[in-house]
Chain A
């Protein structure tokens, strides 16, 4: 009986030892991945902590115009004041919006976020998503500095107008005729017209900043390569989109 117990104990001991050895092996094997996860977390935090400061928007002493060749010889270019916005982009944005600190702050934040595409530590989808989330924040923030001619009152009036027309129409719901009637009111049409015009205006405004940041093939390629390698589904960050409240 004692012998049997001894054998059972020994067997359990051996099994546990094997499991322990396997586990230690697994831990050793996972060390690089754990380090990568740690690095990823550090990078993601760093990306989200890069905020635009008031002094970047209100700066009186702009950096000197950089040497074009030198500036374009690396992806990050020249950034003498270390605010993560390339000097040539910063100067151009100040020239574009000299009188409006509000628009300038949106444009600078958008540029700063796009500049993150050149970071060397974008090594996986997690780090890339962090860049995209900041990119989207910059996009929304810059967009919110655009003053639309469509007022809240107009929106309210058009909704009321549509509600009345919805009750009036006898066309089947979702049919072309139904929609033409419901959306054919004067206020709604007016809003649509303004909205279309403003859409183009805003697109052009954004494109100017995008072209400033991605001003050569190497920079465009880097951005495309990031998308190619790491693009995945992701969600916007909740909370305020502007680093500086416009």
Chain B
């Protein structure tokens, strides 16, 4: 009897074990699999990478649409050419981008967060071996970087081209073509500064796009992708992209990565930490005001709409930098200190001025104050807008009132 029960138990056990192994294998094979599109021999993907002075996220999308539309109107509809956005997001209401682009210009990017994010996003979208990267403004610094990454990670040199528009960089990867207007005030400011600092200058202009009356008054006039470059140079841009596209080809010995058309970069701990940090700081920075005093000037950093830059000021040792941007209703400043830590002071605005200071900012003031000569004269085209002036006056007024009160007391 006992032996019978024992045998039954063993038999059952074997069945259970079989069941369990079966379930285990079933589970293993049912684990979610991410499918990637094939990397196609036919067709070309044109990746448009926007710049930091694209005032709204919506405009990055519209700019891609306009570029694609102009191309199609000139060369006809082709199902072989797909336009995608390589979306270059803004961080900390634009401050993060200014820092990033400044560091990219001197070829020492402080962070590869956006670079990796763009790569991760376009990895899902690119399904052709042939790629044309079109970078605009700061986006052209990324297109250069992305090109260098891609040719080392699954994309052959012969099947990819770069075309840059309004580029602050001193080169285009693999001697690619570019377009920069003679009247682009942003690029010209960077060029002037680069000459002063004896640093690498942006590439010379290649087109003379006249400024409209509105652009003449604007400190960043002639730099807008849609209003300037596409409005007055779309024919040439489309033709240049077509030439880039015609000059690329697939090589027979091209070894493809296991997934997609190129290998994804590692998303290490630092990347993830930055992601979390931006998740917190990006929304916080919107709709905020910070007030800084730089020498005799008061500069206000207001919310999210950073549209242009007027001046880049870097000290002789290139360790401290001030970037001031303004456009009609907005002005912004950010300061990078010697350790490249970013000083950002954020405070919610309630239509009243809020004095904001923090230790890092004070350190930077000290850095600036300790410089033998002024870092640079703030160019006359920096117009602190009415809002800021009124805030400034209000600030002084409030201080006076406070002083009066305290004296009376």
Contacts and interface: CB of A to CB of B under 8 A. Distances in A.
Interface in A153-175: 155, 158-159, 162, 174-175
A200 interface: yes
B56 A224 contact: yes
Contacts of A158: 235
Contacts of B23: 20
A124 interface: no
Contact of A233 (B21, B68, B84, B182): B84
Contact of B125 (A176, A179, A228, A235): A235
B69 interface: yes
B86 A233 contact: yes
B121 interface: yes
A233 B57 contact: no
B24 interface: yes
A233 B85 contact: yes
B116 to A, nearest CB: 12
Contact of B56 (A139, A227, A239): A227
B20 A16 contact: yes
Interface stretch (B58-66, B321-329, B331-339, B392-400): B58-66
Contact of A140 (B17, B27, B58, B65): B65
A210 to B, nearest CB: 10
B45 interface: yes
Main secondary structure, interface of A, reads: helix
B279 to A, nearest CB: 11
A20 B20 contact: yes
B206 A179 contact: yes
B217 interface: no
Interface residues of B, number: 52
Nearest to A180: B208
A233 B87 contact: yes
Interface string B62-87: 10110011001110000100111111
B84 A236 contact: yes
A239 B79 contact: yes
Contacts of A235: 45, 82-85, 125
A140 B68 CA distance: 9
Interface string A214-246: 000000000110011001111110110000000
B143 to A, nearest CB: 13
Given A155-B74, A176-B182, A179-B206, A236 B83 contact: yes
Nearest to A177: B206
B231 A196 contact: yes
Contact of B17 (A13, A150, A203): A13
A9 B239 CA distance: 71
A140 B79 contact: no
Given A136-B65, A139-B65, A234 B24 contact: no
A164 to B, nearest CB: 15
Nearest to B21: A16
A203 B62 CA distance: 11
Nearest to A140: B69
A234 B235 contact: no
Nearest to B79: A238
Contacts of A9: 13, 17
B36 interface: no
B79 A191 contact: no
Interface string A3-25: 00000010011001101100100
30 contacts: A9-B17, A13-B13, A13-B16, A13-B17, A13-B20, A16-B17, A16-B20, A20-B23, A20-B27, A23-B27, A135-B61, A158-B235, A174-B206, A176-B204, A176-B205, A176-B208, A183-B236, A196-B231, A203-B226, A224-B56, A227-B56, A227-B58, A228-B57, A231-B61, A233-B118, A234-B125, A235-B84, A235-B85, A236-B68, A238-B82
Given A23-B27, A227-B61, 12 more contacts: A13-B13, A19-B24, A19-B27, A20-B27, A139-B65, A140-B72, A162-B239, A179-B206, A223-B58, A231-B57, A231-B60, A233-B125
